[in-house]
Amino acid sequence: MPVIGMATSNFFLVKDVYEAVKFARENEFSGVEIWSDVPHCYVDDFTRDKEQWSRLHTLLTESKMKSALHAPMFGINIASINHGIRKESIRQVKASIDLAHTLGSEIVVFHSGKRPAVITPSRVKELTFNLNIDAIMAIKNYAREKKVYAVLENCGVDRDDYEESLADFVHLVETCKINVCWDVGHSHCSWGVKETFESLKDKIKHIHIHDNDRSYDQHLPVGMGNIDYQLIFPFLKEFPGMIVHEIQGMNNCEEKTIQSKKELDKLLRY
């Protein structure tokens, strides 16, 4: 059976990271994915302040929940053609790996780099691909040194995402020989749930679960969109890693998170 987790980002500006972890514990989640960006657990703040990471480590230990981290994503781009931005972006992802190691978390989720423009000439896209490869390999190798798994999340939902197609993402994954965080909602919006699953199933190490009506990346509770979870039900039921409810929305976030968990629990009981 999988570990059923909750993303602390569900509570973004309405709970701090400690309150979010306590909510997960009180509502019987067996895992938590910590948002290691502002405003929850920004890596530089936490690694500089021993009291903060020590408090979080103690809370996770006492809660007896598995934990993972989501690397920073706001304003960073690991494949930026601006060398300074690229270097700083990679540093921040590596810092989240250091924090994961300190907290005893075995998974760090990160995103590939962005394209430099909405419409990218083929030569610039090739450059972005090569910069992505260099960055992903550096992150993967650093994580291995720290005994942490760095997993690449499928995006493809924003106009400047590098991966315009499933083939683009698979090419990154296969070239770097890296495991993935399969975001089910992203695949529904972009390349199709079944198609993405069939292409990535042997590489899936971690899962983000949510729902949408395919019009955009809504991050609704499971069952509130039109994703056909029956397509992947056998895989979810036997998945040995963490399935993380990643639900967005500032209103009724507690209710939406619990609703999503109940719906998935119902599916997994069949």
58: number of Cβ within 10 Å:
10
252: number of Cβ within 10 Å:
11
Determine the Cα–Cα distance for residues 130 and 112; give it in Å rounded to an integer.
11
Q: For 67-92, how does the pLDDT look when each residue is reduced to its tens digit (9 = 90+)? A: 999 999 999 999 999 999 999 999 99
Range of the domain at 29: 3-269
The pLDDT of residue 197:
98
The pLDDT of residue 119:
59
Q: For 146-201, how does the pLDDT look when each residue is reduced to its tens digit (9 = 90+)? A: 999 999 999 998 888 889 899 999 999 999 999 999 999 999 999 999 999 999 99
Determine the Cα–Cα distance for residues 4 and 211; give it in Å rounded to an integer.
16
Residue 261 sits in a domain whose CATH number is 3.20.20.150
Q: Which of 214, 238, 250 lies closest to 1, judged by CA?
A: 238
The pLDDT of residue 47:
84
The pLDDT of residue 117:
67
**Overall domain count for the chain:** 1
Higher-scoring residue by pLDDT: 143, 250: 143
Q: Please answer whether residues 207 and 201 qualify as being in contact, where contact means their C-beta atoms are separated by less than 8 angstroms.
A: no
Mean pLDDT for the stretch of residues 40-61 = 92
% of residues, the chain, pLDDT over 70: 99
% of residues, the chain, pLDDT over 90: 84
Given pLDDT bands bounded at 50, 70 and 90, which one contains residue 249?
A: confident
Mean confidence (pLDDT) of the chain: 94
Q: Please answer whether residues 226 and 192 qualify as being in contact, where contact means their C-beta atoms are separated by less than 8 angstroms.
A: no
Determine the Cα–Cα distance for residues 52 and 50; give it in Å rounded to an integer.
5
Asked whether the bond before 72 is cis by omega within 30 degrees of 0, the reply is no
Determine the Cα–Cα distance for residues 120 and 168; give it in Å rounded to an integer.
14
The pLDDT of residue 192:
96
Q: Which residues lie across from 151 on neighbouring strands? A: 109
